[in-house]
Structure 1
Amino acid sequence: MYYRLIFLNLFLLISLSNQAQNAKELTLMTYNIYHGEDPYNLGQSNLRDIAELILEIQPDLVAFQEVDSMTVRTQGFNTGKKLDVVNELGKMTGMQSFFAKAIDYSEGGYGEGLLSNLPVSFKSYSLPTPHGGEGRSIGVAEVEIGNTKLLFAGTHLCHEFEGNRKAQVEESIRILKESGFPTVIAGDFNFTSEEVGYEVISEHYTDAALDFGDPQLTYSSKDPKKRLDYFWLDKGSDWEIVSVEVLEVAYSDHLPVVIKVRLKD
């Protein structure tokens, strides 16, 4: 009996140790970057500041909103040359990059950007606009985390119509749930917690900042009055939220949000 108890205790210790090792901590970031231009000093790029911030934080995955790719607009803050903004940030930080175009714009494209420090494959999906207005997209990174996979998605919902935001949330949920993988959705959702779109997504995903406690405002960066930027964690997976932080930097008109989470097996 004595030896059986010793064996059982050793088994439990090994099991707990393996669980701790398998619960890898991830650092995730979302940032609306105002198409790569300093909103308070127009004509000047904000990319170097953003890249240096990323290098300091060392996130595993990043979602960007308001991203330009090879537009005429980027010539104004890139010495007259068109610029693929997310590709440039990828080169500056040494991370894999992906552009998820939402619309054709200014001879190029405009949409979402993703960066990854993990083994990854990327996809892009269009989101509905039943009330008209500007097209929207969701970029999805499928990454390998130990012996499982994770979806990390970034989006920017319609700024004009509440009905569009609701439809875009519903379509995002449908797209992401098909995989069956643990999922994080990040981005600029252009709603507050009083809106129907927030209610819809809350049925399936946890608002990380609210769950962690004392969620901070994110817009605008110099005088925050609203919380528009979120991380959502799917309710079907076992998440531990380690930290949630809104960074007080004015490189864009939004503030970046950084969270640390563990996904338990």
Structure 2
Amino acid sequence: MRTNRWTISGGILLLLSTLLILVMGCNKDPYMPDGEATYYGQGDGRFGGNNEEQPLLGSIKIMTYNIHAGSPPAYPDSVDMPAIAKAIATANPDVVFLQEVDRGTNRNGYTGDQAKVLADSLKMNFIYYSAREYLRGFYGVAILSKYPLYTVRKYLLKLENESTEQRVLGTAYIDLPGRDSVMAAVTHLQHNSATNRLQQANDIAGILALSDAKVVFGADLNEQESATGFFNVFDQMLTRTCIGGNCPRTFNAQNPTSVIDYLAYRPATAFSVITHSVVAEHYASDHLPVIAELKFHR
């Protein structure tokens, strides 16, 4: 009987150990790009909270910025996060949409968490959305906000074939002053396939259609204004903050010749554009930061 009791006890321990391993397996590193896992970094509500009794915002300033993994094109073997932070601080946005954001990659010898570093420097909240593993770290997009972020979601966009990269749409609600909120959405579309970009635009349209919330959106779409088929889809779901040949060029930062970085919103009746411009920062990245101020219509 003693032997049987030990056998039963050993079986129970083995079962408990197996269950623990399964639970740990389900709670894998949240930077992993497959599935809905999203890195929070405990940075989503540090600043701007307890704002219910504050007055409603009359307008909101939004920025999109492809930060080129913090590597200045003139110095490709280095990372200069203070220069990126300074470019953002110059415009003083309420919300920032970031693309090409590294975490722990050891690219150019930098192993830090770029979204957190920028958020800490700017005293903003942040959410990082991993898109894929890269150099033993992760590569993706992020949202920075002066106000708390909640109900965070990450969506995998269409992966066309082996020559294309996994891309994601990241969303989060922003707790604005005065019992108000808006959804923020960030993405970075495929660089080497126009058909894949169109597929991804359709994916985003379907995702955003699931909510009737006010949305502010920032992205490196990797698509020029002349792409009629793409913008026939895009402009049905979002209103760009600038349309037409007079929009300031965003790429490349050293000699801007094209617009591939965009800010937008929905529904069209929720906002109107007060200003749209680029920040003249030609050192820190190969893209210029794009900034717009939107007036609320409630």
> Under TM normalisation by the shorter chain, which class is it?
0.7 to 0.9
Structure with greater strand share of residues:
1
C-alpha distance in 1 between matches for 2:238 and 2:278: 20
Which of 36, 39, 47 is residue 81 of structure 2 equivalent to?
A: 47
The match for 2:168 is: 137
Which of 135, 139, 149 is residue 110 of structure 1 equivalent to?
A: 139
C-alpha distance in 2 between matches for 1:35 and 1:253: 10
Please tell me whether residue 186 in structure 1 is matched to residue 215 in structure 2.
Answer: no
The match for 2:92 is: 58
- Give the ranges of 4+ consecutive aligned residues of structure 1 lying more than 4 Å apart after TM superposition: none
Which of 259, 262, 265 is residue 295 of structure 2 equivalent to?
A: 262
Structure with greater helix share of residues:
1
The match for 1:240 is: 272
C-alpha distance in 2 between matches for 1:69 and 1:137: 16
SS of residue matched to 1:30:
strand
What amino acid maps onto 1:49 in structure 2? A
Please tell me whether residue 167 in structure 1 is matched to residue 199 in structure 2.
Answer: yes
State whether residues 46 and 252 of structure 1, in contact with CA within 8 Å, keep that contact through their aligned partners in structure 2. no
C-alpha distance in 2 between matches for 1:45 and 1:106: 15
Q: How far does the alpha carbon of each residue in 1:40-70 deviate from its partner, in whole angstroms, 9 at most, with x for none?
A: 1122223101212323322111011011111
The match for 1:16 is: none
Percent of pairs with identical residues:
28
Distance change >3 Å, CA 109–CA 201, structure 1 → 2: same
Give the TM-score taking structure 1 as reference length.
0.85
C-alpha distance in 1 between matches for 2:184 and 2:77: 32
Q: How far does the alpha carbon of each residue in 1:11-55 deviate from its partner, in whole angstroms, 9 at most, with x for none?
A: xxxxxxxxxx75621111100000111121122223101212323
Of residues 161-170 and 228-237 in structure 1, the stretch that sits farther from structure 2 once superposed is 228-237
The match for 2:261 is: 229
Q: How far does the alpha carbon of each residue in 1:132-170 deviate from its partner, in whole angstroms, 9 at most, with x for none?
A: 411101121211233432111111000011111011111
Gaps of 5+ in 2: 1-54
The match for 2:126 is: 97
State whether residues 187 and 230 of structure 1, in contact with CA within 8 Å, keep that contact through their aligned partners in structure 2. yes
**Once superposed, what is the RMSD of the aligned Cα atoms?**
1.7
C-alpha distance in 2 between matches for 1:46 and 1:30: 18
C-alpha distance in 1 between matches for 2:90 and 2:259: 24
State whether residues 249 and 258 of structure 2, in contact with CA within 8 Å, keep that contact through their aligned partners in structure 1. yes
State whether residues 47 and 89 of structure 1, in contact with CA within 8 Å, keep that contact through their aligned partners in structure 2. yes
State whether residues 61 and 292 of structure 2, in contact with CA within 8 Å, keep that contact through their aligned partners in structure 1. yes
C-alpha distance in 1 between matches for 2:80 and 2:125: 20
Which of 156, 173, 178 is residue 126 of structure 1 equivalent to?
A: 156
C-alpha distance in 2 between matches for 1:181 and 1:148: 11
Give the TM-score taking structure 2 as reference length.
0.76
Please tell me whether residue 198 in structure 1 is matched to residue 228 in structure 2.
Answer: no
What is the CA distance between 1:261 and its match in structure 2?
0.5
What is the CA distance between 1:231 and its match in structure 2?
0.8
What is the CA distance between 1:114 and its match in structure 2?
1.1
In terms of Rg, which structure is larger? Answer: 2
State whether residues 193 and 199 of structure 1, in contact with CA within 8 Å, keep that contact through their aligned partners in structure 2. no
SS of residue matched to 2:198:
helix
